[in-house]
Structure 1
Amino acid sequence: MFEHTSRYYDLENAAFIAADGRKMTYKRRRFLPHGENMPLLAEVIPIQGDRLDLIAFRTLGDPQQFWRICDANNAMKPEDLIEPGRIIRVAVPHI
């Protein structure tokens, strides 16, 4: 259902049976980790024009892993993290 690098990959599947008998499979809810408890890989200070996908590529080697940086900073919206001068936590990826 999801690539192995997706934040949803390890979530348990669940099923819903509709009134007409159709079975619909879905992923259970993802609970966000507490970023301050995640082991630190690096701290990054964005510069003007930086984007979270670029920071993810530089630190984690994959721009699609930007969500890991959001988790490490307790951020629901990636754009909230990109302020020049702000310190961004990058956690060690949990595999």
Structure 2
Amino acid sequence: MSYPLFAMVQLGVVPPVTFPADSRYYGFGVQQYTAPDGKVIAYLARRIVPQPGAPNFATINQYTVHQNDRLDLIAARYLGDPLMFWLICDANGAIAPHELVASPGRVLAITTPQGVPGGLGA
């Protein structure tokens, strides 16, 4: 079975999938797997979540969670972009973002990649 869109990407007619620099998947490519039946399945390369406190992140602030907090609003306040919530997830070892704001009183590390200037709340 052929997949016209996949063929067009391979031929350069359609640009390959790229992620913006603020995406957690920036720099990760789309991989392909050919199943035994010949079907081609596209998937994202696996992204390993860094360990909290990893040396490639710089802590710029801390935030104490309050009732009804939203991670996107915390990211907007401290990092200047609500879509950067994933940096807070990485800094705190969270796979599920909602878990970070589920317990009022929890202290979150707010980080940026090492060498990147601090966000708005820094």
TM score, norm. by length of structure 1: 0.82
TM score, norm. by length of structure 2: 0.66
How far has the Cα of 1:12 moved from its partner? 3.2
How far has the Cα of 1:74 moved from its partner? 0.4
Amino acid at match of 1:62: D
Name 1:72's counterpart in structure 2: 91
Rounded Cα–Cα distance in structure 1 between residues aligned with 2:68 and 2:81: 19
Structure 2 runs not aligned, ≥5 long: 1-16, 117-122
Give 1:89's match in structure 2, choosing from 109, 115, 121.
Answer: 109
RMSD: 2.0
SS in 2 for 1:14: strand
Give 1:17's match in structure 2, choosing from 27, 34, 56.
Answer: 34
Amino acid at match of 1:79: H
Sequence identity, in percent? 40
Q: Greater CA radius of gyration, 1 or 2?
A: 2
Amino acid at match of 2:29: E
Give 2:25's match in structure 1, choosing from 2, 5, 8.
Answer: 8
Amino acid at match of 1:52: L
